[in-house]
Structure 1
Amino acid sequence: MRWLFATLAIAALMAVIGVVRGYYAFGSAAAVGSILVALSAVILSRYPVAAPRPRDQQLSEALSELSGVVAAQWQREAASRGLADPHPMPVCWSYTEPLADHGALVFRATPGRAASFEGRSDDVQNMVVRLRADLQRPRLVILGEPGSGKTTLAVQLLLVLLAKREPTEPIPLLLSANSWGSNVFREPRDWYIDRIVRDYPTLSAIDKTIPRQLVDQNMILPIIDGFDELDAHHQRTLLRKLNQSLGPDDGLVLTSRTAEYANAVTRADVITAAAVVTAQPLSAAAAADYLDVCLSPTRRRLWAAALEELHHTPEGRLATVCRTPLGVWLIRTVYIESGRDPAGLIDPTVHPDAEALRAHLFDALIPALIGTRRPDASGANPARPHHEWEPEHARRWLSYLAVHLRGRSDIRWWDIPAGIPRTARLTIMALVIGVPVGVYLGFNNALLTTLFGERHRIGVWAMVFSGICGLVGATLVFGLLPPASRTRSLEPGYVSFRKRTRDPDAARRIGNQMLKGLLVGIPLGLAFTGGMIQPWKGSSSRWAYGGIAWLGYTIGTGMALALIFGVVTWLRTPAADDRPRTPAASYRDSRNLTLLPVVLAALAPIVMLLNPVSVVVVWIQNGLISQFIPNPVDGLDEFRAVYSFGPEDWRRTLIKAPFNCIVFGGVILTLVVWFGERAWFLFVTTTRWAVLTGKLPRRTMAFLDDAHRLGLLRTVGPIYQFRHAELQRYLARDLRN
C-alpha cells in the first residue's frame, strides 16, 4: 500500500504546484493522470491469481517433480559420457578404515557380518542395498587416484538411488565442490538451497519457499564432487561445517583424491559416521575383458596380440596404462572407435614406457573424437557435435581454457573474461561503449547541422570531439570505478518465456514492480520532457496546451518504465515446466536479461507518445477549457503555431528518431550492466580479444557445447568441467611447453 500512498503524494504535489502557479487545468489533469496509472498498478498488485495449495501438497508435488527432473538430467549426462556403453567398467571399491570414523558409528550391528563396505562399479545396485542396510546413516566418502572413476561412481549412485527411491527418502543432488565458498555461504545448507534455486527454478514456481523446505526437512542427499579441488584452507573449513550441519539421520556422499582427503582429515576431522571406500586399480584381465566386449567381431583377430599381452604381462606398459578407467577409455576412444591398428600399443620401440604411451593417447584423443563423431545438425544424438572443428584449433582452445582455470576444474563461461588482460578489457569496453556514444553525440550535435545548411568543418570537428569524449567516458566508467573493474562477474540470472500457471503471487510482484517503475518514471518525465517542451514560455493559453503535451510525455515515461519493470519481473518469475539449467541455458538467460530491457527501452519513446493516459488527459483538459482558459481558440492556435511540424521538421525528426531510440536503449544497457546482469555482455565483448589472438573460437559457447558432446567436457548444472582432471593437466602442460 505504501506505493499507492507515494503515487498519490506525487499526484497531489503536481496538483498543488498547478494551483499555486495558477494553472488549474494542468494541475488537475496531472493529478488525475497519475491516479489512474497508480490505481491500475495497485489493482494488479493486489489481485490474487489462485488460492495457494496446502503445504503438504506443495511439498509432495515438489519432491515428485524434482526426482523426475534430476533423473532425466543425469540420464542424459550419463548417456553423453557413455557410462553404460556397453556396460560400466568393473572398478572395485574397498573399505578404507584408517580414514573412516569409528566402526560402531558407521555400521549397524549385524550378527555374522564383518564391519566393512565394498562394491563394484558394474554392480552399483548392490552397493546401494548395502548403503541402506549396513550403514547406520547413508554417508559415504569415495576416494581414489586421478582417473579412477570417482565421479562416475557418484553419478551411478545418484541414478540408482533415484530409481530405487521410496517416497520418504531424500533426493540425491550432485554438487560441484567449487561452487561452495566459505565467504559466501555460512552453512552448507544455505549452499544446498542456493544451488536448488539456481539449477532447478521450476521448484520455485510451486512456491518460493520449497527449496528451503526440502533442505530443512532433510529431503536432499548432497553428493559433493571434487573436494580435492578446493585449497587446503577451504577443505578444512568445509569438513568442519559439514560435520556441524549433519543431523542424526542426514546423508552425505563426498568424492576426493586420497592424498588430499587424508591431509584434510589430519588437520580437521573425518566425516562423522561415514564409510570410506577407495578405488582399486583395474586388473589387466578385467581391462582386457572390457576392451574385448567393446570390439566388433570382425576386429577381434586384429586385437588378439594386444589382449594377449594384457593377460600375460600384467606389469607391462599397456597394463600399467589400463590400471585406471581413464586409460581404458583412452585406448577405446583412440584405437577401437577410430579403427586404428593396435600394433603400436604393444611395440616397445614406438612407446618405450607407460608414460610415453599415455602421452601418445592424450595427443591422439581430440583428432580421434572429431574424426569419428561426425556433426549432426539436428542435435538428436547427444554424442555427436553440431559443427565441424579443426582438431588443432580445438586443442589450442581447450589448452587455453585449461591454463585459464589455474588448477580449478569448473569452466564457468561467465568467468572466462577474468583471464583477459586488464588493458585489453578496458580497450574493448571503451570501444564498445565509447564509439557508439561518440557517433551519436557527433551525429546529433554536428552532422544534422551540416545536413541542414551549417558548415561542414564544424560538424566534422564536433563529431571527433564527441567521439573522444565518449571513449574517455566509457574508459572511466567501465575501467576505473569499482563495480565494473571486477574481474569475476556474478553468476547469470534467470529468465523464462514459458507460461506461468502455478504462482499465485506473480501478479502481486509484477504490480509492485510496475509501481516502482511508475514512481521512477514520472519524475524523470517531468524533468526531461519539461525541459524539451518548456510550456511555461509565452501566454497562459500556450502554457495550458503545452502542459497537455508535457503531461502526456511525463505519464508516458512513467508507463514506459512501468512496462519495463513489469515485463522483466514477469519473465524472471520461475515457470512450472522449466528444465534444469545447463551452460547453454544460463547463457541464453543472461543474454535475454541484458537485451530485453534494452529492447523495451528502445520502444519507450513510442509508449511516451502513444498512450491511452494522454488521450484521457486531453479529454479532461478540453472539458475544462471554457472554465480555466480565456480565449481557448486563440490559445489553441498559438499552441499549434509553436508546436506545428513542417516538412523540414518531419525530415529532421525521422532522421533522429532511430538514433534517439538507440541512445535510450544504450542508457538502459549501461544501467543493466552496471547494476544488474553483466555476465553475457562482459563475455561477448571482452572475449573478442581472445578470439582475435586465436585463443578462443568466434562461437565459443557453440564450441563448448560440442566439446561436451564429443566427450571432452562434462556438465554439472550450468558449469562445464574437463572430462578428466588428467586431461586438463596434460593440455595445460602442453600449452606451456
Structure 2
Amino acid sequence: MRHGGQSQVLKRVGVRSLLLVGLTTAGALLLAWRFDSKVAETAATALLAAGPLYIAWKAFKHDRVEAAAVDLTAVTDRLADAVRTQWEAEAEVRRVNDPYPLPVAWRAADPDLVESWELLTDLARTWPGGPPNDPARWPADADGLADSDARIGEVFSERVPTRRLVVLGEPGAGKSVLLIHLLQDLIARRPAGGPVPVLFSLASWNPNQQRLQEWMADQLRRAHPGLHNPASAPASAVTSRPEAHDLARELLDARLILPLLDGFDELPPALHAVALDAINRALPAKQPLVLAARSAEYRAAVARSDAVVRLNGAAGIHLLPVTQEQAADYLRRDAGGSHTPAARRWDAVTAHLGTDTPVGQALGTPLGLFLARTIYNPRPQVVPPSAPVPHPDELCDTTVFPDRATVDRHLFNAFIPAAYTPRGPSLPRWSVAQARRTLTFLARHLELDRGGTADLAWWELHHATPTPIRRLMVGLVLGLLVAFLGGLVSEFLIGLMSGLLIGLVFGLRGSDANAPSVRLRWSPSTSAAVLRLGLVFGLFVGLLVGITVGFVSGLTIGLAFWLAIGFVGGFMAGLTTEEPDLTTTVGPAALLAQDRRIYLTGGLVLGLLLGSGLGLAVGFATGDMAVFPFGLALGLMGGLPQTAWTGWGTAKLYLVVRHRLPWHLMAFLQDAHQRGVLRQVGPVYQFRHIDLQRHLAQQPWPPAT
C-alpha cells in the first residue's frame, strides 16, 4: 500500500478510536452515577482507555503533519509571481520608468573591499558539482564587470563566478533601484522551480539578537502569509519544533530563496562588521546573494584595525555618478521634451551638471534628479497654484546655496509641498502643513524611539507612547468593559469601581503589543466533516469531564460548566488556519486588517462563547444570573489575544489626542506611498530615502505651519 493510503487508514483508525474510547468512557461513568457504583472502580476502569486514547490522538496529529507536505516547485513558482507583481507595482509608485529608467553605470569595486578575482574563479571551480555558471562567460579580470543598468542581470548571473555580489555607491546613487531591476531580471530568467529572488531591507535586523535565517523567515512570513503553512519537515522536527519547518524555513533551508540584501548602511555603525560576520556564518559559500551598501560605511566595516571582515566569495561593483548628458536629457524629457518651453527652464542648471558646483554635485545622483524634477517639473493640477511655480534657476544661486549640503536641504524641504500639490480628480485629503507635521513626527519616532531604523512598522507605533500611559489606557478600556457589563445587573457604582479595579490590574501588569498575527482565518469553506468532528470532540470532553466532576460538585454544575467549555472547544475547531494564496503579497494595511480580524474572530468569539457559557453555567447552578455579565466580561478579557492591533489602537488614540498623528493614519500612509514620499518594502513602509527621514527628524518640533 502506498504511504498516502496508509496515512488515510491511520486517520480513520485514529478518529474511530477516539470516538469509541470517548463514548465508552462516558458511558461507564454515566452508568456508575446512575446505579451508585463505586466511583473509584469505575474511574480506574475508565483510565484503561488512556493508552488507546493517546495513541489515537498521536495518529491523528501525525496525519495532520503528513498532510502538510507540499510541492516546493509549485510554491516557488507562485511565490515568484507574487514577488514580480509586488515590485512591478512598487516600481510604478516610485516612478522608476517615468519617463524612462534613469541609466546607471558602474565599475569594478576597489580591490581591497572584495575578494581577488583569482580567488573567486578558483573557488567557483572547486565547488561540489562545479561552478554555478559557464566559466567561458567569465571576464579575464574584475574590470570585466563594468557595465550599465540594463545588463545587471547578465553581470550577476553569468559574469560573477560565485554569483555573490556587493553593490557599492554613494548616497542616492541608485542602489535600491538597481536591486529592483536585478530582481525583475532574475525572475524573468529563473526556470520553473528555481530560486526566487527576494529583496530584504536589513534595517530591522539585529545580528546580536537574531540569526539571519530566522530574521529572513520572519520577513517572508509577514510579506507572504502563505509561507506560514507547514512544510514536509524531517521526522525529528515533527516531534521537536514543527513550527520551525513551515514553508518559509523550508525554502530557505533548500536554498530556494536568493537574498538581495539592501540597506546595509541603515544598520547602526557598531553592527556593520558584526552583520557581515553573521551573513558569512549564516549563508554557505555556494548560496548566491547580493548585498548593497554605501561605499564609506562598507569600507569602514571591512577595514577595521582589529579585524578585517569581507563578504565571503563576493565580487563587487561601484555605481558611478550620472553623466552630464544623461542628467540633462532626463530633466528635459521629464519636462516634456528637449524642444518644449518647460524643458528650456533647465538651461542654466544643465550648464552646471557634471561640475563641482553645489547644484552640479547635488544633481549628480538619481535621488537628486528625482527630487529636482518633482519640485520643478509640476504635473497638471486640479486647481490653479496659489503661488508661482518655482524656477530651477534658483538652484544656481551660490549666495543662497553655497555648498551641496544647502542644496540638499532645500530639495528635501521643497519635496513635501511638491508631493502634496493638488493633482488628479480630487484635492489632497491632507494639507501640506498636516503632511509635514505627520511625516516629521514619524521620522523623529524612527530616529529617537526605534534607534534610527528605516522600517516604519505600524505594530511598533506603541514605542512612541510612554509605557505607563499605554498600560493605563489598556487597563481603562478593559475596566470600562467589565464595569458596563457588571453595572447591568448590580448597582452601577459597584460595577464601575470593581470593573475599573479589575481592568487596571489586568492592564498594568503588562500590555506591550506583539508582532502582527496572520495565521488564524475563519474559513467559510471549512468542510462540514471537520466542523462535526470538532463538535464531537467538544461534546465528548464536556460529557466525560462534566460527569466526572459531577460526582464531586454536583452533576448540574459539572455538566453545565464543562459542556460549555466542550462546546467552545468544538466551535473553535471550526476556526482553521486557512491557506493564504502565495500569489498575493500582504502590505501594511492588509496586515493590519488581518490582525484586527484575528482580534475580533479569535478573541471576541472565544471570549463571548466562553464568558457566556461559564456565566450561564454558574448562574444556573447558583440561581444568581448576576454572575453572567461578570463571566462574560472575564471571558472577553481572557479570550482577547495579545494582538498587535490592540497596541496600535491605544497608541494611535493617545497620539491623535496629543495632535501628533491624524486619526486615519493608515490611509495617510497609503496616500504618502502613492505620492512617492514613502516606499513599501513588504509589510512595512520606509521613507523614500533614508536621508529624507534623517532630514525630517532633525527639524524642530512642533514644525512651523
Under TM normalisation by the shorter chain, which class is it?
Answer: 0.7 to 0.9
Match of 1:409 among 454, 459, 466: 454
1:330 to 347, 350, 371: 371
Change (3 A) 1:53 1:498: closer
Correspondence list, 1:493-512, <5 A: 493-496=518-521
SS in 2 for 1:223: strand
Is the 8 Å Cα contact of residues 93 and 279 (structure 1) preserved in structure 2?
yes
| SS of corresponding position for 1:116 | helix
Which consecutive residues of structure 1, in runs of 5 or more, have no partner in the other structure?
Answer: 377-384, 447-462, 537-546, 615-641, 644-648
Measure, in 2, the Cα distance between the counterparts of 1:322 and 1:113.
Answer: 35
Q: Is contact 2:78-2:583 (8 Å) kept?
A: no
Distance 2:589 2:631 in 1: 29
Task: Report if aligned partners of 1:517, 1:561 keep a CA contact under 8 Å in 2.
Answer: yes
2:331 maps to what in 1? 291
Structure 1 CA distance for aligned equivalents of residues 587 and 366 of structure 2: 26
1:525–1:557 contact (8 Å) kept in structure 2: no
Of residues 689, 712, 716, the one that matches 2:654 is: 689
Aligned residue runs from structure 1 range 353-432, under 5 A: 353-374=403-424, 388-406=429-447, 407-432=452-477
Equivalent-residue separation in structure 2 for 1:520 and 1:585 (angstroms): 37
- Is the 2:264–2:291 Cα contact (8 Å) retained in structure 1? yes
Counterpart position of 1:114: 141
Please point out which of 559, 569, 575 is paired with 2:567: 559
Secondary structure of 1:411 counterpart: coil
Which amino acid in the other structure matches residue 559 of structure 2? Answer: L
- Aligned equivalents of 1:261, 1:284: Cα separation in 2: 27
| Change beyond 3 A, Cα 1:46–1:310 | closer
Per the alignment, in what secondary structure is the counterpart of residue 444 of structure 1? Answer: coil
TM-aligned CA distance change 1:603 to 1:138, over 3 Å: same
User: CA, structure 1 residues 691+161, in 2 after alignment: closer, same or farther (shift >3 Å)?
Assistant: same
* Aligned residue number for residue 344 of structure 1: 394
- Quote the offset at 1:595 in angstroms: 0.8
Distance in 1 (CA, whole Å) between partners of 2:286 and 2:364 is 37
Equivalent position amino acid for 1:671 in 2:
G
Conservation of the 8 A alpha-carbon contact between 2:69 and 2:230: no
Deviations 1:423-479 (A, max 9, x none): 321331122111221232233222xxxxxxxxxxxxxxxx33432333333232222
After TM superposition, give the deviation of residue 289 of structure 1 in Å: 1.2
Mean alpha-carbon deviation: is it higher for 398-407 or for 366-375?
366-375
The corresponding residue for 1:100 is: 114
Match of 2:296 in 1: 259
Name the structure 2 match of 1:153: 178
Is the partner of 1:687 in helix, strand or coil? helix
Partner of 1:318: 359
Q: Is residue 76 of structure 1 aligned with residue 112 of structure 2?
A: no
Measured in 1, the distance between the counterparts of 2:61 and 2:118 equals 58
Structure 1 residue corresponding to 2:489, chosen from 444, 464, 480: 444
**Which residue is equivalent to 1:15?**
30
1:596 aligned to which of 601, 606, 612? 601
Deviation at 1:490, TM superposition (A): 2.3
Match for residue 319 of structure 2 among 272, 279, 303: 279
Q: Distance in 2 between matches of 1:71 and 1:213?
A: 21
Q: Aligned pair 1:130/2:151, yes or no?
A: no
Aligned to 2:6: none
Selected match of 1:679 from 633, 641, 644: 644
Residue-by-residue CA offset, 1:391-432 (whole Å, 9 max, x unaligned): 111111111111111211001100110110123213311221
Map of 1:719-734 to 2, 5 A cutoff?
719-734=684-699
2:374·2:419 contact (CA, 8 Å) conserved in 1?
Answer: yes
Give the greater-gyration-radius structure (CA).
Answer: 1
Tell me the secondary structure at the aligned position of residue 103 of structure 2: coil
Q: In structure 1, what is the Cα distance between the partners aligned to 2:218 and 2:535?
A: 27
Q: CA deviation at 1:61?
A: 1.1
Per-residue deviation, 1:680:
0.3
Q: What is the TM-score with the length of structure 1 in the denominator?
A: 0.74
- What is the SS of the residue equivalent to 1:410? coil
1:489 to 494, 514, 519: 514
Q: 1:202: which partner in 2?
A: 226
The CA distance in 2 between the partners of 1:98 and 1:329, in whole Å, is 32
Q: Check 1:327–1:665 CA distance in 2 against 1; reply closer, same or farther (3 A cut).
A: farther
Aligned residue identity for 1:582: G
Cα deviation, residue 235, structure 1:
2.9
* 2:215 counterpart letter in structure 1: W
User: Which amino acid is 1:714 matched to?
Assistant: R
Count of aligned pairs between the two proteins: 631
Structure 2: which amino acid aligns with 1:573? E
Alpha-carbon distance in 2 for matches of 1:240, 1:713: 31
Out of 58-67 and 45-54, give the one that drifted further: 45-54
Aligned to 1:371, the other structure's residue is in SS state coil
Q: CA deviation at 1:716?
A: 1.4
**SS of the residue 2:421 aligns to:** helix
Q: Quote the Cα distance in structure 2 between the aligned partners of 1:203 and 1:111.
A: 36
3-state DSSP class of the match of 1:270? coil
**Could you tell me how far 1:679 is from its partner in structure 2?**
0.2
Q: Compared with structure 1, are the counterparts of its residues 351 and 581 closer, same or farther at alpha carbon in structure 2 (3 Å cutoff)? A: same
Stretch of structure 1 that moved more, 190-199 or 420-429: 190-199
User: What is the aligned-residue identity percentage?
Assistant: 29
1:580 aligns with 2:585: yes
Distance 1:554 1:145 in 2: 67
Unpaired runs of at least 5, structure 2: 1-13, 122-134, 233-245, 381-388
Question: How many Å separate the matches in 2 of 1:60 and 1:215?
Answer: 14
State the 1:278 CA deviation. 2.1
Question: Per the alignment, in what secondary structure is the counterpart of residue 148 of structure 1?
Answer: coil
Structure 2 contact 105–147 (Cα < 8 Å) conserved: yes
SS in 2 for 1:61: helix
Aligned to 2:124: none
SS of the equivalent of 1:256 reads strand
**One-letter code of the match for 1:442?**
G
Alpha-carbon offset, residue 723 of structure 1: 1.0
SS of structure 1 residue aligned to 2:346:
helix
CA deviations 1:508-544 (Å, max 9, x no partner) are 8x8997788668877997899x99xx996xxxxxxxx
The aligned counterpart of 1:712 is: 677
Q: Is the 8 A contact 2:166 2:290 kept in 1?
A: yes
What letter corresponds to residue 672 of structure 2 in structure 1? A
Q: What amino acid does structure 2 have at the position aligned with 1:402?
A: A
8 Å contact 2:79–2:582 — kept in the other structure?
no
Structure-to-structure mapping, 1:526-537, within 5 angstroms = none
Aligned partner letter, 2:689:
H
Higher relative contact order (CA 8 A, sep 6+): 1
Range 415-424 or range 88-97, more displaced: 88-97
